[in-house]
Amino acid sequence: MRDLHSEADFVYGQASGGSGDMSVALSIYSDRAHLRATLKEDAQAAGLTVTSAGPLADLAEGAHRSLGDVVMVDCPQVDGAALAALSRLDMRARSGEARLIVSTSTEALEDVFACMDQSAPILLVDPDRAERVIALGQVLAGFPSGRLRELSDDDRLMLLRLTEQVGQIAGRIDRLDPRGSGAQVPTGGDSAAHGAHPAPAALPGTGGDHLPDAKLIRRIIRQRQLRARFLDADLFADPAWDMLLDLAAARVEEKQVSVTSLCIAAAVPPTTALRWIGQMVDAGLFARVSDNADRRRAFIALSDKAAGAMARYFSEIGLASPVPL
């Protein structure tokens, strides 16, 4: 078994030299000194140039400091100053200054998720060392090959599998809804302010189909969970479908779903669930919804496209009911 040094080198080797190419610059911010040292060690093993490594206070005070190409932030606990620093970092990264990898705790996830909505960072929840290395590899996969050595075939397959799977799901939904309805979540009036979805007769392109009663969808979810009592749960891991079911039920119930709740519904580790949520948002199947009453919170909902596809699916299997979308 490879140690973490060779793991980092396995994900990405030494940066290319010559021809004026420069290695990728990395900044590290964490209040835990031992973690800063570990991150620096792994990054250097992967051929990256660590330009800075300091506590979160450095991030808060360094508004005009160059970020480098990649920024890794460890923020297991948040306060007003930390959230403000993360928000500023998010806005800077949106302009293309850096790619972000942010680790946090389950307790702080809602706050961190809500304040980082511009730059599509990779979010990790209580990650171990290997998960951080893998996240770094995912970010570096988007850099020009001239700056880094190519991934091995095995690692490239690992890093692309999630994107391919979500792309397949989006393709199936597009075939069900050839006209498409975009990724917007219905909003409007006082109902939107209270987190309720308006109830049109049917969404465009649904053929008049409606989602079943929420109790029926919840029963399907419970039946799926029941399998783990008798068989290995890993045999049935399907976080995308579990989240689609949970959001479909919440849409009928006119309830908002927090990112933490959706991670639980996915029945996989939070970091894995967050990767799926990000990919599903990118694919136009999920939509991020701000809390009008508290801008520090954000929720996840089905896009109209995904809701229409779920309605047609339930209609096809004979589970449709007169519950409007």
Say if residue 13's pLDDT is above 70. Answer: no
16-50 pLDDT per residue, tens = 333 344 578 899 999 999 999 999 988 887 778 89
Question: Tokens 């596809």 appear where?
Answer: 309
Residue 184's pLDDT is what?
Answer: 47
Q: Do 4-151 and 158-316 have matching folds?
A: no
98-125 pLDDT per residue, tens = 899 999 999 999 999 999 888 889 999 9
Ordered by start, the domain boundaries in the chain are 4-151, 158-316
Architecture of domain 158-316: Orthogonal Bundle (1.10)
- Long-range Cβ contact pairs of 226-234 (< 8 A, separation 24 or more): 233/267
Q: Check if the beta carbon of residue 246 is closer than 8 Å to that of residue 265.
A: yes
Report residue 260's pLDDT band, with 50, 70 and 90 as the boundaries: very high
Helices (H), the chain: 4-11, 33-45, 56-61, 80-94, 109-115, 129-140, 153-176, 189-193, 214-226, 239-253, 259-266, 270-282, 304-316
Residue 96's pLDDT is what?
Answer: 77
Residue (of 126, 55, 117) closest to 87 by Cα position: 117
Tell whether domain 4-151 is in CATH 3.40.50.2300.
yes
Two tokens at 121? 């960072």
Cα 132 from chain centroid (whole Å): 15
Residue 247's pLDDT is what?
Answer: 96
Neighbouring-strand partners of residue 26: 50, 70
- For residue 9, give every residue at least 6 positions away whose Cβ sits within 8 Å of its Cβ, in sequence order, or none: 45, 46, 47
Neighbours of 225 (CB within 10 A): 14
Residue 149's pLDDT is what?
Answer: 46
